[in-house]
Structure formats: structure tokens, C-alpha cells
Structure 1
Amino acid sequence: MKKLISVILCFAVLVGVLAFAGCKKNNDGQDTTADGSTAAPAVSTEPETSTAESTTTKPAAKPAQAQVSPAPTTGAHIVTLPAASATEKPNAASSTGWNGTGTYKVGSGSGQLRPGEYYIVKNSSKSSVYVWNGKMKDDSGEPLACEITLDGKTHTLVTVESGYVLYISGCKFISASVEHPKAVNGKYAPGTYKIGRDIPKDEYIVKRISGLYCGLGFKKSIDPYVQNVANDFEMFDVSTYYTLSKDGYVEITGCEFYDADSCSMASIGCDGTTPAMYKVGKDIKAGTYTITPDGSGKSYYAVASSPEAVEPAQLKKATNVTVSDGEYVYFFRATMKYCKNPNSGLDPDATLPQE
């Protein structure tokens, strides 16, 4: 009986040792058990890329809104503040005139930069703008500042509070109460504008100037340390009409804005045959048009009473559409041609009868 008990105890000890060995981790902290775990895999935060594009994804004729996590309102990112140099100007700041390259302390003391909103204009191909709140530091005690990028933009707006430090290089800046962004020769260049002050609420023609990204970002605050849920973006795949109706600030990227009352699509290089949005009675005449896809399988078109009402439909074959004054015609990855004999049911370039 004792021998039987001893055998059972030895067997139990052996099973325990084997179980422990099966769960033991290797030296680099990786579990050496088989891939039968039910734990969920890590989710990548990097955007997925694919060489195969969907043929059913609608373009952003009616600007799409992107949902993202909270981020600094100016599109800034956190970096180490550059070391102060001979350009530091803590006692030479002007709240009423233009200031140049330098490091400025914000406060109410003599010579300090007054708290408030500032208009920063890039005047060099190499420019840098940093804002430090005077508090954030890395593990070694170095200041951690918000870098405000000006790539592809002519200017920006920023709000600074007492205790902040503003680092400027390759730019000039002035209080926005003295000078602020505005249209130059009827054009609003890429940059940040305060809606209602710098740019009126109105209908505009949007001209694409970048092949990579063309769109608008809206925000309530331009203090880089004020967190907004930056989910209000609108993107454009072609030159288009757009009605600006929101409040706050708008950041124009990869495109130019023109007052629609004093500008036409022809004036920005869209002749009525190339992909864009056109206003009937202004850019093109009323009548019947043939819209022909480019064969990519990603062609879209729409006819609507306003830019906001545009809902693109996939264009699989050449299609005739009849439009009236005041309507808007949009097409993407396609061409458009006026039908001289619409009652015939076919245009020389069409493959379908009139809709």
C-alpha cells in the first residue's frame, strides 16, 4: 500500500513539473507555449495600405468626415524645444508691430509678448514655429514643445497664454488684432483663417493644388495645448464648389479658395470637360451632356441642386444627363461633352440612350 501511495505521489510531482515547464517563459520574455492562446492580437495603429483599390469606394465629392482621436488643434506634435541662441529676444517683443526670428517669453512684464492670438507668416523656405507652455519637460528636464508645421502653407494662427514661450525661425508674426490673414487678389492661400473675420461665410470655388491631399480642417481653438476632438475634416478629390458655413477656424491644405461670385471654373483651368464640379448657367450652359467613364471602374457622377446635396453615383457606362440653370454637375475619373442632338438618343461618344 505504501509503495502504491509513493508511486501516485511521484506521478503527481512529475505532472506538476511538466506543467510548469510548459508555461515557462524564455529569457527574452516570450511565451514558449504553442499558438493556441485565445488572447486577441495587438491592433496596429498604422494606416493600412493596399495596392488593390476598391472599385466601389466613392470619392470625396461630398467631403467625407474623418473620425480620429483628440489631438492638438493646430496639427502640432510634441518635440524638444530648440536651445535658445543669440536670437533670443525676451525684451524686444512688440505687441503692435511685426516681430522676427527669436525666442519670446509670453507674459505681462515689460518687453514680454502679450498673451493673445498671433498671425505668423512664413518668409523663408526654412521655417520653424514652436510653442512651449513652460511646464512640459522630458525625463532629462528638457522643454517639450508643440511644433506647428507650415509645410505647404503660407501662414498660421496661434494663441499663446502667459507663461508660454514662442520660438520663431524663418517667419514674422504680429498680433492678430493688428493684422490678420485675408484674400490676396481674390485668393485664399493654404493656411489657417478665422471664419467670419478673415474669411466670410459664403460659397467658394476650391482649386486643388496638390495631388496628394486637398481638404479643410475645422477647429474651435488655435492654442496648441487645447485639445479638440479633431474629427471635422472635409476632403476634395477634384476642384469643386463649397459653402463655408461653420464657426471657429478653418485650415486650408492642398487647395486655394476663391469667391464664387467673382470666379468661375474656367478661370482656374477647368474647361467643362475635365473632372470637377460645375455650376449650370455659369460654368456650362443648360442642356444635355454625355458623361463617359475613363475605364478605371472608379468613375462617379452626380447632378444636384447645391454642392452640399451632391451624392456621387458610380458611372459604369457613358450616360446622358440633362441639367438646368442653377444645378451643379460633378464627375470624377470621367469626361463630359455637350450633346448637340440630344433628341437622337445618342451622342457620337455615347454608348447609352439619354437617361
Structure 2
Amino acid sequence: MGFIKKKRIYKYFLILAFIVLAFVITISSTMGVADISFIDSLRIMVSRIPLLGSLIDSESIRQSHYYIVSNVRLPRILLSALIGVGLSIVGSTFQSMFRNPMADPYVLGISSGASAGATIAIVFGLGGIVGGLSIITLFAFLGAILTVVIVYNIARVGTRVTSLGLILAGIAVGLFLSSMVSLLMFFNRDDIEKIVMWTMGSVSAATWNRVGILAPVVILGSVIIMAYARDLNAMSIGDETAKSLGIEVEKVKKILLTVSSLIVASCVSTSGVIGFVGLIVPHTIRLIVGSDQRAVLPFSAVTGAIFMVVCDTLARNLIPPSEIPVGTITSLFGAPFFIFMLYKNKKKVI
């Protein structure tokens, strides 16, 4: 089957995936301590959409329900979806760029850098707010970005950066930073709970401000990465093959590394470390639609959003009024599903 015919089929399935995402978001907004109907949640969400909002009679909606959906649940749901998009897109990018199906968004030590930054802020009691974001979030972002810069410079040989060098440098720096976090926890035992809870990942602190900050980074970054889908296809075969096709491999690597690092750093600093999403989603999509990044990237983005929204919905509803860290849910449900997909497609994997 040619790509043009596949593209037509993929387009229909992608539209279906967006419909499923919209349905999952609406269902998620109804679930919680307050019982809100599907229709009411849908009307509340539509009322927030420019131009369409005037079609909804807002006076018929209970103010308490409007506040809960609009200001509590919806920001959290959208933040979860954005994080799912970001981690899945970057996971797919790294798996192709490094030619390693087990690569994930944290392969460069970004999660360890973010954890180190957040831990420093927690240990020194830096809990203020700057520009609508907590100091902990800002320190986590700076830690993640600084880690990428260090890893890149360690792996660089002249003007070239090898995939193996990046992976090895990322592992080494990540392990070093993880040990530093452990030491800080050992000498500051009163803060252990805060640090551990941060590293387990959660979007419970979601606000519209955080959504507004993360959305441009994830959306614009994803668009840029998708523009390089053809280049990623060539690079997944080998750098020499990509060069023979006229692709400036080193330039493309720098662009993709920069954009991907910004996306992951923004996601991790917002939610903490949420594992498995960037590994299982793109890998599972690749088993279903093949290895062409023109299909893998958009499907990974939508599927990642659905997966994260479902996991966060479970995290806040399984043991109310308490909630389970969403990072625990993604691993708990993601790992068995991933094993099942590998088993069903083991011939394709081999």
C-alpha cells in the first residue's frame, strides 16, 4: 500500500483519535467528588470556547458546577493532555534519532536534572511564586536545561555529536545527579516526603496559568518536530544514509535536541517525573502503523494525550479524597499493556 493511500486512511483514523480524545476529556471532567453530568460538563466546556460560548445558556448551569469544571478539573485535564503530547512526541523523536526503540524522553538525564533542581529548591525552602510559577518549578526547569547543555558538551567531538555519545553521557550525568539527590535527601530527612512526591509526578497543582505557559511550548515544539519527520525517517536508517540524501544531519540533530529538550524540561518542571509515557506510546504506535514518522508522530501525540488523561483521571478517582501520583498509574497500567503489545507483535519486533 502506497503512502498516499495510507495517508488517506491515517487521516480518518487521526480524526477518530481526536474525537476519542474529546470524549475522554469530557468524561474525565464529569468524574470526581462532585457528581456532574456529561451534558452539563460538555455545555460548560463549550461555553469557554470563543464564538461557540454565546450558543450556551450559561444561566442554566449551576455556578458550583461551572467553577469545578472550568477552574479545577479542566486545567488539570488539559495539562495532562499537553504533557502526554510532549512526552510522546519527544519519545518518538529520540527513538528514531538514536535508532534505539527503548529510548525515552529522559535518556539525556533531563529527569535527573529536573529532580536535582527541584530538590535544591525544596531543601533550601524556596517556595515562593515568580510569574505565576513556583520557585520549585523554575529550579526544575533550569536543572533540566543545564543538564542537557552539560550532556551535549560532554558528547560533542569537534562539531559532531554521536547518538551513542549522547546516550552514554546522559546515563552518566543522570546517575551522578540522582546520587546528588539521594545525598540531599539523606542530609535533609524532613524534606524527604516532598522530594519523593515531586519525583513521582502529579498534575494536582494545575492552573490555567500553567496550561497557558506549557501549551505554546508543547504545540509549537511538536509542529517543529513534525516538520522534520522525513529527516527522522532517514536518520533512523543511519546518519550516512541521511547525509547521502542531502540532509544536514548535525544541524537537524541540534534543532531536534534543542526543541525536544525544551518540551521535556517544561513538562517535567510542571508535573515532576512521569515515566513510561514517552516510551510505550510511540513504541506501541510504531507496532500498529509502522515506522514512518509522518504517521507515528501525530498518532503518538494524540494517543499520548488520551493515555495521560485516562491515567490522571484514575489517579484522582481511585481512592478519593486522596489521590495516587499519576506517574505511578502510568507505570502500573502502561507496563502490562506494553508487554501485551510486544507479545502480540513479537514477530514484527524480531
Same fold, TM-score > 0.5, yes or no: no
TM-score range for the pair, normalised by the shorter chain length: under 0.3
Greater share of residues in strand? 1
> Normalization by structure 1: what TM-score?
0.21
Greater share of residues in helix? 2
